[in-house]
A and B are shown apart, each in its own frame.
Chain A
Amino acid sequence: MAVELRPPAASARRPPRRPGLGDTLRQAWREYRSMRTALVLLVVLAAASILGSLFPQEGLSPQRVDQYFADHPALAPVLERLGLFDVFGSAWYMAIYLALLGALVACLVPRTRALYRVLRSRPPRGGDLARYRTRASLQTPASPEQAMEAARRTLRRSRYRLAEHAGGELAGEKGYLREAASLLFHVSLLVLLVGLAYGKGYGYRGQAAIVEGETWANARVGYDSFSPGRFFGPERLAPFQLRLDDFTNSFHPDNTPREFASRLTALDLDGRELQSQRVAPNRPMTVDGVRIFQSDYGYVPVVRVQGRDGKDLVAAQEVLTLRDPATEWSTGAVRVTRADPQVGLELTLFTGLVTAPDCPGGAPFCNDPRLVRPVLVVLAYQGDLQANRAQSVFTLDRSRLELLGDRPLLLQPGQSRELANGMVVSFTDLKQYSVFTLARDPGVPVVAVAAGLLLLGLIPSLYVTRRRVWVRAAPDGAGGTRVELAGLALQGKAAFEQELARLAEQVRRGTLGPPERST
């Protein structure tokens, strides 16, 4: 082997070329796309995500963040500044995963190019087969040509890609699927994240409550809560209306909820019916690209308040109440601002009021969640309602109110009762309302397809192995032929030794009789 190499002494006389800025950058790029960088970034990403589960998150449980601020007044603002209450939306979390994505792209480009080159080129020469770790050989009475033909057949049947080289050498290679599938997995991961970002940016989520029999228009003002994506304009809200035709709920014998469902009709802005569907948990309705999910429900007692003179102080008002999911009773409030002094009514609605001794645990009263005997319990206050101040619609600010009368009034639907000051409260009707989550996420199809491809790529990228086989045949000097096989597996080396032995056996059998159809 006479390869001319410069001895180091030669380079001492002529100083070696000094690496410049280009080399430094190229080196940094290589480092960035290396497996080690990916590994470090993956571990850093995992560690950063752990932070997100250690601290309460603004997007998930704002109440717990407020609680944290109350408990740690000194520490909380610092943590907030560091983005620890919104880890997954913070700049540094974004920096980590963008760095990872960048490394992924930097790694995928040369890998794709390399795979393309490999697929374009022929399986390479093996050279001296005796140098390989995995080898097999066999003797056969057939001629070298016949033996090589049998080898060709065997390898082709095992779906090796073949190439003939000088000196009667046959080279075969297979298992490109591993790299292709791995590339598919990583590209899908990229596409998935792009779809996720696209959907988040151009979509929105909101909640709206609709009372039975009423029609709701899809406009920003109609939502109780609304969180648009960064690039979502309110003008993008699809033009439609929703009508809640009917709401039903049912319970298991142990009084846990069985199901609740709304019969919803979508209308265009002119009131023409577009579609009608029963919407229940896990059964959303899609209108104009907007998905409508059943998320909650509650009760709407209709209450009327008359003065001593019989005139309406509050004409039949639909009072939205807040339902407690544990007990199924609901609370709300009515403000009679036209009375002097002002009167406030605290309402508690029972779907089925049960009193002792029929309640568990000796409680004085309890509630049957089924709507069997609705009872409205009214507690009246008088004084200043402070109606100009912002306050919850479901409760009264009792700081300037005093109790009116000494006992609560109990009303069934259709009943009226007189308050201590002579005003009359009527419980004229009971309706239900249904709460819907409306969401538009244009990224979902992209994410779904990407997730499917990701899974498709994952398994071959773990289980397929890339391997090469070389075969040569020569007369053994006794009238027969000696066939040499050598192989190189990049992964799964132990299993490959058995495979090569099996291939050799198949070649041997192939030289003896007519080609077998199956192995």
Chain B
Amino acid sequence: MSPAELASTSDTLAWLAVLSYVVAATLFGLEFAYGTRWFGVAGLTVTVAGLAANIGAAVTRGLAVDRVPWGNMYEFSIIVGIITVAGYLVWLRRRPEIRPLGVFVLLPAVLAMALGGLVFPVPAGPLVPALNSRWIVIHVAAAITGSSVLCLAAVFSILYLVKERMERRQRPPAPPLVAGAAKTADRVEVDQAVARHARVWDRLPSADTLDHLAYRTTAFGFPIWTFAIIAGAIWAQAAWGRYWGWDPKETWSFISWTVFAAYLHARATGLTAGEVAADVACGTGALARELEALAPGAVVVGLDFSQEMLKRAGRGRFAAGDALQLPLADASVDVVTIAFGLRNLPEPGQGLLEFRRVLRPGGRLVVCEFSTPVVPVLREVYGRYLTRLMPVAARRLTSDPEAYQYLARSIGAWPDQPALARWLQEAGFGEVAWRNLTGGIVALHRGVARP
């Protein structure tokens, strides 16, 4: 075939690929909406055919122009299509449950290719001299691979956010505070809408799986993207004598690099899937629910000695438990949290030893408690508020002024940040540190259980 025939074959194949991807995305969408397996299998078949056409388009284009087929934005978009779809298929082999994600993976691939074809159509041709470099071949190959992989990672991350929100909403709502409150007609309608919604989103893999996929894909794509930026800088140095000049492509490659770096830093902290956390003195379970939302896949148990509080916490993993005698086996949890509870224990020291008992070696303890403001002026003002203003206000405004007097007294008697840190150390916790909130009115202490 002559170069011209090859070029037109390539264009035809590229459009065939786009068409197949659109059809496949529709089929995956139907599977996603109606849960019919047949649609998914058909979608997969059409995707594979589309990928074959896509690869054919790249190969014929390369033969037509007698060079690597990634010299301009149009060719770039064709290869992005190949790598994104191929990456999805590779994941699919290892994790068959992600098949319904096809629609979300194919749409950006189709978008990239259609954009390439409509906005930057470049007829098959040679490159301008400045692009004639070995480094540009390496750079663009890395940039295409990196951006396709990170595109997949972004899809997984977005779906994770959606699914995670759905999972949180699906959790049984707390029972009405006033017993016997009838459901109004509105309420019933809303519930049905939520349920209908939930059925569709149920077909997504669990938030846990999506989070794992997103992290693994990002960790794979990030070094490639870093290398692509470096290779591009080497080429720019050879072509123009400046390796970095903040042109739009350089700027955006840097922005996306920064964003993914932030993602990796954010992932390096916090509770992870499979760990067990106990929220002691959980009250109505607000913190426990937050923790559960932070780490899908983690098991969070809320414990409180007040049955009344637990009743209000609703269903979920809540149990009665005295902080000084936790209903947990030795070394059975990875994280213990206690918010505004330690101060109220008859023996806080015994409480800390009890937390240390139930924690596995390396497990973390986080204590959130009132503390001492670090700025002298704030300390003074806050001290007066606690001892003078609050009791008076409480007498006037509340039905239980005694409780507020207790609050003021117990906060005043409570050790400051370094003293509490020492308590943690004495109770067998290492790496003890604290962080002040609101200038030290409240402090977060953390420690790691020593073996």
Contact = CB atoms under 8 A, between A and B. Distances in A.
A196 B413 CA distance: 55
Given A16-B372, A45-B258, A293-B241, A493 B272 contact: yes
Listed from nearest, the 9 A-B pairs whose CB atoms lie closest are A5-B349, A131-B331, A439-B241, A12-B413, A127-B451, A46-B258, A42-B262, A282-B133, A281-B129
B418 A19 contact: yes
Given A257-B128, A462-B222, A49 B361 contact: no
Interface in B370-399: 372, 374-375, 379
B348 A8 contact: yes
Interface of A: 1, 3-9, 11-12, 16-19, 23-24, 27, 30-31, 34-35, 38-39, 42-43, 45-46, 49-50, 52-53, 57, 59-60, 88, 124-128, 130-133, 196, 205, 252, 254, 256-260, 280-282, 284, 291, 293, 295, 437-439, 441, 444, 447-448, 451, 454-455, 458-459, 462-463, 488, 490, 493-494
B125 A254 contact: yes
Contacts of B230: 451, 454-455
A227 B334 CA distance: 59
A12 B409 CA distance: 9
B251 interface: yes
Contacts, number: 191
B1 interface: no
A516 B78 CA distance: 51
A100 to B, nearest CB: 10
B254 interface: yes
Contacts of B375: 24
A144 B177 CA distance: 62
A457 to B, nearest CB: 10
A9 to B, nearest CB: 7
B413 A125 contact: no
A11 B415 contact: yes
Contacts of A133: 334, 360
A284 B372 contact: no
Given A19-B416, A60-B247, A282-B132, A5 B266 contact: no
Contact of B241 (A42, A50, A441): A441
Interface centre among A5, A124, A125, A490 (most CB of B within 10 A): A5
A458 B226 contact: yes
Given A35-B268, A444-B243, 5 more contacts: A3-B427, A11-B415, A45-B258, A257-B129, A437-B240
30 contacts: A3-B427, A8-B348, A8-B414, A11-B414, A11-B415, A16-B415, A19-B417, A35-B268, A35-B269, A39-B265, A43-B259, A49-B251, A50-B255, A53-B251, A59-B246, A60-B245, A60-B246, A88-B246, A130-B330, A260-B129, A281-B130, A284-B238, A438-B241, A451-B230, A454-B226, A459-B223, A462-B219, A488-B361, A490-B362, A494-B274
Contacts of B125: 252, 254, 256
B227 interface: yes
Contacts of B412: 12
A54 to B, nearest CB: 10
B423 interface: yes
Contacts of A60: 245-247
A264 to B, nearest CB: 15
A53 B252 contact: yes
Interface residues of B, number: 79
B347 interface: yes
B159 to A, nearest CB: 21
Nearest to A438: B241
Contacts of B379: 18
Contacts of A59: 245-246
B117 interface: no
B264 A130 contact: no
B239 A455 contact: no
Contacts of A455: 223, 226-227, 230
A250 B416 CA distance: 80
A39 B261 CA distance: 9
Given A17-B416, A50-B255, A126-B451, A493 B274 contact: yes
Nearest to B241: A439
Contact of B413 (A8, A34, A458, A462): A8
